[in-house]
Copies of this chain bind each other. A is one copy, B any other.
């Protein structure tokens, strides 16, 4: 079938009876050539499975079609899920997504930015580590490469930020919990890595104040990204020492809650709304596994679809307007309360 070996675009242009610049134009944008020409190229493409050399292509293009996606911790199903959606959208739009995982480490994050810089991406979707991030490295990166931040905002950096409205998460859970039972304490890590955690704590305090209740923070120790384990140990300790001060617990995020539920189960404490239950537990994020916990977790859900859509849409706007936006926008999506069995 593939009799004459196609070594490059020159060869391929020859066998399809066109000139190389025309073929080059086609690969840049198939609709930029006459339909009849396009048909000829695509017919040839069927027969000889030629693909332009990625490296040579990107070397001279002012703007590549590469898109960088950087997340702080890919083993967290929350990010895995968001990335899955974003990646697909990019491919559908003819872009080449390159996925990077900071693995919770600032040095790694900075190294990724360096790599990314030399990939000359048309745009980057970047969820920073947060508190631990090397701000100056990110700042310099954002100056050179069109970047959309998501999940964790860093004030003023990047061309735009897309994320969820932490206030909306907390106000809904706190409102629901106070309305249906005891006011909740707030269960979180002492030194959270993610800025969203801080926003949630502040929103909790504010919300409790507003409703006329005394805020009560249960800050557990532990660092890193093993949130479930940290939550479990923290919960065991808090439950044994009785430091919760209420029968209602609002966890900062679902992964901590998963640990909490595990601890409660081990201690024989039944969690839920029923009269026979010792505790109510609610949380935030709608982690992919939160519907399978025991009991299933009442939580405030990210609008995954809307966030992903907006992130990608912002990226496209950014690319189309040549890498810079008029002004930095911050888009926050509200949460949706999901009532399950845990509270």
Contacts and interface: CB of A to CB of B under 8 A. Distances in A.
B51 A118 contact: yes
A117 B114 CA distance: 24
Interface residues of A, number: 50
Interface string A217-232: 0000000000011001
Interface stretch (A169-177, A236-244, A291-299): A291-299
Contacts of A88: 103
A75 B288 contact: yes
B101 A115 contact: no
A198 interface: no
Contacts of A53: 59, 118
Interface string A48-74: 000111111111000000000000001
B293 A294 contact: yes
A96 B118 contact: no
Contacts of A81: 75
A84 interface: yes
Sorted nearest first, the 8 A-B pairs with minimum C-beta distance are: A294-B294, A265-B294, A75-B80, A55-B59, A262-B292, A55-B55, A55-B58, A54-B118
A56 to B, nearest CB: 5
Interface string A243-263: 000000000000000110110
Interface string A95-127: 010111101000000010011011110000000
A75 B75 contact: no
Most chain B C-beta atoms within 10 Å of own C-beta, residue among A54, A91, A296: A54
A225 to B, nearest CB: 10
Most chain B C-beta atoms within 10 Å of own C-beta, residue among A52, A81, A91, A289: A289
Interface in A123-150: none
A6 interface: no
Contacts of A111: 91
A84 B75 contact: yes
A188 interface: no
A51 B292 contact: no
Contacts of A291: 228-229, 262
Most chain B C-beta atoms within 10 Å of own C-beta, residue among A75, A87, A229: A75
A52 to B, nearest CB: 8
A265 B291 CA distance: 12
Contact of A265 (B59, B115, B295): B295
